[in-house]
A and B are shown apart, each in its own frame.
Chain A
Amino acid sequence: MLDAALCVVRRDLLLAWRRKSDVATALLFFVIVASLFPLGIGAEPNLLRGIAPGVIWVAALLSSMLSLARLFAADHADGTLEQMLLGASPLGVIAAAKTIAHWIISGLPLVLIAPLIAVQYDLPAALYPVLALSLLLGTPVLSLIGAIGAALTLGLRGGGILLSLLVLPLYVPVLILGAGSVEMASAGMGGEGQLLLLAALLVAACAFAPWAIAAALRISME
């Protein structure tokens, strides 16, 4: 069972490695969206410092959204998803493995590059760890929730837009807690409360989302 999960993670990472442009687009999208705000709003340092956590988090949300459509669609089109449904391991395990691979490809780069974006916003260096930690806890939740939506809208016409409508409202708690933790920390109150709540969300999502993804996949594949 663990062997199958590792096999799926390795396979998806290998596929991403052979199609590096797909990975780069989501990351570049994040960088560009986050860079547009200072250009549009103007370079008032206090204002930028104030909006930084929210803007970076919204950009992360949209970027994670962008890569979701690819999560199952390609496997669905070439029939490999069918084979996963008929595999020897429970579908929940496979779904979890695919989501982990998706996070490594699309979420982890955001965590690593976010401090660089924070420099653009003149965020105090003391806040970088809080920002990175909030993204580290929050982006896997985005991948897990998003994967449920991606599985449900699989093979539908106009699935991309529907996926956004379905998933973005569910991202709201993660956004509030994620951006909130950085804001609290910058106000000197420490963001531990929000970070702990994010961690709790992550644990809950890890426990329940894979089975929801599996059920959604079975419905979509009928």
Chain B
Amino acid sequence: MLEASGLHCARQGRTLFRSLTFSVPAGERLRIAGANGSGKTSLLRILCGLLAPKEGEVRWKNTPIDSLKEEYSREIVYLGHAPAVKDDLTAAENLDIACRLAGFAAGANEALARLGVPADIPVRKLSQGQRRRAALARLAVSGQVPLWLLDEPYAALDVDAAKIVDTLIAGHAARGGAVIFTTHQETGAGASRVLELHA
């Protein structure tokens, strides 16, 4: 589904990686590993099109993502470091808006119930872990979106929430979707492949 060829990324004059080539077929769970500062986040941002690589290109179903633009955006879910939820809105409102922007309508309440997040109080009043769960609720409604790009999905999660994320990732891969995620630690669900970045 996704192919990266000859990616070269430099930030602040320092080369993070060069000639990085890999492809992600359907059903793959690719874990990107590496020390802090090895370019995991930069790689994810390149793969979702937020960051332009210095050299090389990313292709989605054999078409470069630069030329696909919004068509490609519709095919991916990206969860970054920042939770992408507004503190003044409720979890349900946040999820509903996120889905509308992504171009589909979804049942926000069921997804939030699945992750155990209170739907009707402002996110500001939730704990840090519940906020993360509110952000991850996007995955529960994005089953039909083929490619998931997740930056540290396990950060700040308790054991139960981590298990839910495992199930979501495994379920998505089983449906024929692809998941690319970064973590520091080994995870329960495991990855079908690990890509190691060396700084």
**Chain A residues in the interface with B (C-beta under 8 A):** 3-4, 7-8, 11, 14-15, 18-19, 77-80, 82-90, 94, 221-222
B70 and A87 form a contact (CB under 8 A): yes
Quick check: B82 and A78 within 8 Å, CB to CB?
Answer: yes
- CB closest chain-B residue, reference A85: B50
Asked whether B73 is an interface residue with its Cβ less than 8 Å from the other chain, the reply is yes
Contacting pair B100 A15 (CB below 8 A): no
A222 → B minimal CB distance (Å): 5
- Chain B interfacial positions (CB closer than 8 Å to A): 48-52, 69-70, 73-74, 76, 78, 80-89, 93, 97-98, 100-103, 122
The count of A-to-B residue pairs whose CB atoms sit within 8 angstroms is 75
What does DSSP make chain B's interface, helix, strand, loop or mixed? Answer: loop
Q: Are A15 and B78 interface neighbours, CB within 8 A?
A: no
Q: Is the interface of A mostly helix, strand, loop or mixed?
A: helix
* Given known A86-B48, A88-B73, A89-B70, contact A79–B103 (CB-CB < 8 A): no
* Known interface pairs A79-B83, A79-B84, A86-B49; A11-B97 also in contact (CB < 8 Å): yes
Task: State the Cβ distance, A168 to closest chain B Cβ, in Å.
Answer: 30
Give A201 to B27 CA distance when docked, in angstroms.
53
Do A80 and B85 touch (CB < 8 A)? yes
Shortest 6 CB-CB contacts between residues of A and residues of B: A79-B82, A88-B103, A79-B84, A87-B101, A18-B88, A7-B100
CA distance A14 to B97 in the complex (A): 12
Instruction: Report the bound CA distance from A15 to B102 in whole Å.
Output: 20
In whole angstroms, how far apart are the Cα atoms of A84 and B98 in the complex? 9
Question: Is there contact, CB below 8 Å, between B101 and A7?
Answer: yes
Q: Please state if A84 and B101 are interface contacts (CB–CB under 8 Å).
A: yes
Bound together, the chains give a CA A7 to CA B96 distance in angstroms of 10
- Given A14-B89, A87-B70, verify A82-B101 contact (CB < 8 Å): no
Closest-CB distance, B57 to chain A (whole angstroms): 16
A15/B89 in contact, CB under 8 A: yes
Q: Which residues from B are CB-within-8-Å of A77?
A: 82
